[in-house]
A and B are shown apart, each in its own frame.
Chain A
Amino acid sequence: MTGIVALYIFMLAAFTGYEVISRVPVILHTPLMSGSNFVHGIVLVGAMVALGGAHTPLEKTIGFIGVLLAAGNAVGGYVVTERMLEMFKSSGARSGSARPH
């Protein structure tokens, strides 16, 4: 990947992120922040590559910490986001006879 191509990717991804989020209702802000927190858990693949190429004990130690932290980011982010989102239901799912409005 050349530098200029990387820059294009950077620009397009930045606009994509902005556009995708701009239509999100406030009620989903907390799960969404959690969801985007999960998405940057992709740092796990970078940490794996860094540790996979580490040679000295120092590099290996830092790489190990990196993979451990990244796995925590990815797994923790997924678990809490999923827990929050699975609770959202509409009144159609409400037990009981009365419906609003």
Chain B
Amino acid sequence: MPAWLSADLAIQASYFVTAALFILGLKRMSSPVSARSGILWAGAGMAVATLVTFLYPGMSNYGLILPAMFVGGVLAAWSGRRVAMTDMPQMIALYNGMGGGAAAAIAAVELYRGETVGYATSTLAVAGGIIGAVSFSGSAIAFGKLQGLITKSVRFRGQQILNLLLLVAALGLGVLVAAQFNSSAALVTAFFLLALLLGLTMTLPIGGADMPVVISLYNALTGLAVAFEGFVLNNAAMIIAGTVVGSAGTLLTQLMAKAMNRSLGNVLFSGFGDTGAAATGAVTGSMKAIEASDAGVMMAFGQKVIIVPGYGMAVAQAQHKIWELTQLLLDRGVQVRFAIHPVAGRMPGHMNVLLAEAGVPYDLISDLDEINAEFETADVALIIGANDVVNPVARTDKSSPIYGMPILNADKAKNVIVIKRGQGAGFSGIENALFYLDNTRMLYGDAQKAAAELIQAVKAV
């Protein structure tokens, strides 16, 4: 090896390449055309960084590092391969929590060892430690809730005060640890236990519907924790990657909260998520049913059909049938578009993934801003598994809990067909005025069965 080519230079150069690949990869992920290559670029960056880290001067314990990487990697690859697309949000929460836990573990090792010098370093280790630990235990709760393992939202009087006390206590211990660094292991242990507990108590009261925002927030927090530990270890790749994720995740969290018409503070500290407010303002009129054969004819002879899918469609696994129906209509020369509300599915963009899985090309899919003006010229709006996101009271009724939430203006279409299991209210318990409009017809039944009937009806035309 030539004298100028030291291990340190190789490591620094590789981390530089990795940081560039991460940023370029994320950039490529911002367009559906290049998104696939984006993850490949980022993956190459990760491989380079991981391999070169084995050259780190003074590294030992390879007998522990390799098995840990093997076990963690194999378990994650196995679970990631077999998870259903509908369960993707909780899987992201799980992997994200693991990253937070790893950041906290780095902080713990450094703090227990107590070799790192300087208050700045110890403070950053502590900060990354508390954030990582909160993200770890909080993400575990988020996973449990979305997976259906935790069904109750634990709430009691004074809960916010308890959380605040826990935060203050954890911060207090953190300050002690940071200031006296090399002091006692018991102090460090107590600090981490409090931080883990804080993640639990912060997340338990939040309802399932708000979880995507929380997962996104923890994703950003994990990034920040990784960046802080990067400062501690003097590792530029960690600082850059962690910070990029921290700021990108913060923006993503804001976008999601905005799409749900909630502020972040509201999500974290109120708990609307699954209780829902009592329905107000009785809706007048009656629901009018339609047979699948008539609905099929209506769509087959229309010029333009807009399909509004909701999570109910994915639960019923009806997306493949809906795509089959769409292809039949396209072949007849009918214009078909999919209108996706930002919170269709369980997090923004989730519905697009589910439709993509069924084979729907992304250029048939439009988001709220693109499609809303087009409902007026649509012959049929087909609502399948969506409810609150097409409820016109969000525009009209100031007393409604969803007032002000951006909705898809399906009520403006010439005809509205709603596929619905029964006559109940939506996820939030709010009556949907759309169902009672003169131009709305209800097609009762299971989403998959109804879609199959529609296919038969269009084929018979």
| Beta-carbon contact of A13 and B32 below 8 Å | no
| Beta-carbon contact of A39 and B235 below 8 Å | no
| Beta-carbon contact of B26 and A39 below 8 Å | yes
| Residues of chain B at the chain A interface (Cβ within 8 Å) | 18, 22-23, 25-27, 29-33, 35-36, 38-40, 42-43, 46, 49-50, 53-54, 56, 58-62, 64-65, 68-73, 75-77, 79-81, 83, 85, 88-89, 91-92, 94-96, 98-99, 101-106, 108-110, 112-113, 120, 136, 185, 215-216, 219, 222-223, 226-227, 229-231, 233-252, 255-256, 259, 327, 330-331, 333, 335-336, 340, 342, 345, 347-350, 352-353, 356-357, 359, 361-365, 367-368
Partner of B356, one of A64, A89, A101: A89
| Beta-carbon contact of A40 and B364 below 8 Å | no
Give chain A nearest CB distance to B146 CB in angstroms: 13
Bound-complex Cα distance A2 to B242 (A): 18
* In the complex, chain A residues whose CB is within 8 Å of the CB of B60: 52-53
Chain A, interface size category, equals 35 or more
Q: If A20-B30, A54-B61, A100-B335 touch, does A46 touch B91 (CB 8 Å cutoff)?
A: no
* In the complex, chain A residues whose CB is within 8 Å of the CB of B234: 1
| Beta-carbon contact of A50 and B106 below 8 Å | yes
| Beta-carbon contact of A62 and B239 below 8 Å | no
| Residues of chain A at the chain B interface (Cβ within 8 Å) | 1, 3, 6, 9-10, 13-18, 20-56, 58-60, 62-94, 96-101
Main secondary structure, interface of B, reads: helix
Q: If A46-B226, A62-B112, A73-B102 touch, does A79 touch B49 (CB 8 Å cutoff)?
A: no
* In the complex, chain B residues whose CB is within 8 Å of the CB of A18: 247-248, 250-251
Bound-complex Cα distance A47 to B101 (A): 10
| Beta-carbon contact of A21 and B58 below 8 Å | no
* In the complex, chain B residues whose CB is within 8 Å of the CB of A37: 92, 95-96, 99, 219, 222, 245
Q: If A26-B367, A52-B56, A89-B361 touch, does A69 touch B102 (CB 8 Å cutoff)?
A: yes
